[in-house]
A = this chain, B = another copy of it.
Amino acid sequence: MPLKKLGEDAFIKGLAERFKSRHPRLLKGIGDDTSVTAQAGGRALLATTDILVEGTHFRRDYTPAYLLGKKSLSVSLSDIAAMGGSPLFFLVSIALPPDIGKKFLDELYRGLADVSSRWGCRLAGGNTARTPDGIMVSTTVFGEAAEDEIVYRKGARSGDVIFVTGTLGSSALGLKVLGDHGPGSLKRGPYKGSVARHLDPEPRLKAGRALAESRLATAMMDISDGLALDLKRLCLESRKAAAVYLSSIPISEELKRYGEKTGRSPRLDFALTGGEDYELLFTSPEENIPRLSALSRKLSLPFTPIGKILSGRARRTVTVIGEDGSPFVLKRLGFEHF
């Protein structure tokens, strides 16, 4: 079977099954945003790895090297955020074709360095390789958290409210605008904010830490492959189902305007199924809402309730309730890697 049909979740599951990694210190292997390894003193080591591949995750002509450097580290930091951890160190592997110049590399470094110093995530090691043509940047970030503060995907309980931080779908809109109007759309035009969201996502580290420390979130993950697909993953890990109200999904003014102008549904076509939001998806019991509101204000980051966790006996893992109140079925859940 070609991988296109196999799908990423099956692929990862195959890997997990092949290894059945059990070790008293490996608290979580495959199946969450990062691995979790017990350390001395009740602390746990979090580790996560990501790759950005030219032609798949970015186009060279649309992506300034500086922002490629920033994004390659930010996406891994987003995974640390999703566990409620603090980043410590990172390793980077940079694979480049021989025609790439020193200027490109300097800009890539500068982007990595800026994100590194902003979040206190220090460079611990590097590795370089030549490629026949494409650029590839792989980062591995390790962080830490108190063992009993880590928020896993598996903790959602029936009746919990589902929240997302920020707004969704802007990155998917930015990608579309880049494709339609080229790299100039980052600097000017009505959707430059969305293009910036796509090329330069912000890891929600402060929110992730605050939600973990305050013990307000029962389950958490970052949204990298689209809300629908990622919520399904959270539900499967928690052995629960979920209902999401389409009209509750928070979207930006730019995405709203784009929807009005083009007649496309901003929530259905972008916010629910677009990828690379790097916002946090988390669940919390209803009684926490006042404390969550206070925290959201303190962080200047919206926490928006978008649905409810249902018992695992529901017929469908994720049900979307449309603007007219009737449930419907999504044909395509989100961004699949194959």
Interface residues of A, Cβ cutoff 8 Å to B: 1-4, 6, 8, 11-12, 14-16, 18-19, 21-23, 25-26, 29-30, 34-35, 37, 39-41, 43, 45, 47-51, 53-57, 88-89, 91-93, 95-96, 98-102, 105-106, 109-110, 112-113, 116, 122-132, 134, 136, 138, 140, 142, 337-338
Contacts and interface: CB of A to CB of B under 8 A. Distances in A.
Chief secondary structure at chain A's binding surface: mixed
Contacts of A105: 3, 6, 11, 14
A124 B48 CA distance: 9
6 contacts: A15-B92, A21-B123, A47-B125, A128-B337, A131-B134, A132-B134
B129 A51 contact: yes
Given A11-B105, A29-B125, A93-B138, 11 more contacts: A6-B102, A6-B105, A12-B128, A15-B109, A30-B124, A35-B91, A35-B125, A37-B89, A49-B93, A51-B95, A130-B337
A75 B124 CA distance: 18
Nearest to A338: B130
B124 A26 contact: yes
Contacts of A138: 49, 51, 93, 138
B56 A2 contact: no
Nearest to A23: B122
A145 to B, nearest CB: 15
B15 A126 contact: yes
Ordered nearest first, which 3 A-B pairs have the shortest CB separation? A35-B124, A40-B40, A55-B132
Contacts of A127: 49-51
Number of copies: 2
Contact of A91 (B47, B89, B116, B128): B47
Contact of A2 (B39, B41, B98, B142): B98
A125 B83 CA distance: 14
Contacts of A109: 14-15, 18
A249 to B, nearest CB: 27
Contacts of A45: 45, 142
B53 A129 contact: yes
Contacts of A34: 125
Contact of A122 (B21, B41, B110, B136): B21
Nearest to A10: B102
B53 A89 contact: no
Contacts of A4: 98
A53 B102 CA distance: 21
Contacts of A55: 131-132
Nearest to A42: B40
Contacts of A123: 15-16, 19, 21, 29-30
A99 B1 CA distance: 9
